[in-house]
C-alpha cells in the first residue's frame, strides 16, 4: 500500500509543539502507521518527478530558494501547466502540495 486510505484529519488545525499533542494518528487506532502512508492518495507522476528533481537539486548543493528554482529549470522540470519555475511559483506549489 502506497498511502493510508484511513487517514484521519488533524485534531487541531495547527499541530502542537508538545509531545503527544496534535498528531495525525492516535496511537493504537491503526495497525500500521508508516510515515509514507500519511497521505490521502498515491503520489502522482508529477509529484514523483518533482521529488526526484528536488533530491538532485539539494544533492548538488542548493540551499537558497533561487538556487532551487534554477536547479529545477536547468533540469527541464516544469510546473503542471508547462511553465518554468519562479521563486513565487515554487513557494505556491509547495504550499499546495503539502495541504
pLDDT single digits (tens) 78-94: 999 999 999 999 999 99
Half-sphere exposure of 57 (CA within 13 A, CB side): 22
Binning the chain into helix, strand and coil, the percentages to the nearest 5 are 40, 0, 60
Shortest CA distance to 40 belongs to which of 3, 95, 94, 93? Answer: 3
Sign, CA torsion 16/19/22/23: positive
pLDDT single digits (tens) 47-77: 999 999 999 999 999 999 999 999 999 999 9
Contact status, residue 81 vs residue 64, Cβ threshold 8 Å = no
Amino acid at each position: 500500500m502506497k498511502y493510508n486510505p484511513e487517514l484521519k484529519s488533524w485534531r487541531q488545525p495547527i499541530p502542537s509543539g508538545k509531545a503527544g499533542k496534535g498528531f495525525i494518528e492516535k496511537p493504537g487506532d491503526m495497525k500500521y502507521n508508516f510515515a509514507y502512508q500519511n497521505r490521502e492518495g498515491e503520489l502522482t507522476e508529477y509529484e514523483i518527478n518533482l521529488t526526484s528533481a528536488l533530491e538532485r537539486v539539494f544533492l548538488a548543493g542548493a540551499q537558497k530558494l533561487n538556487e532551487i528554482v534554477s536547479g529545477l529549470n536547468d533540469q527541464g522540470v516544469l510546473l503542471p501547466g508547462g511553465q518554468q519555475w519562479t521563486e513565487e511559483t515554487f513557494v505556491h506549489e509547495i504550499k499546495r502540495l503539502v495541504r
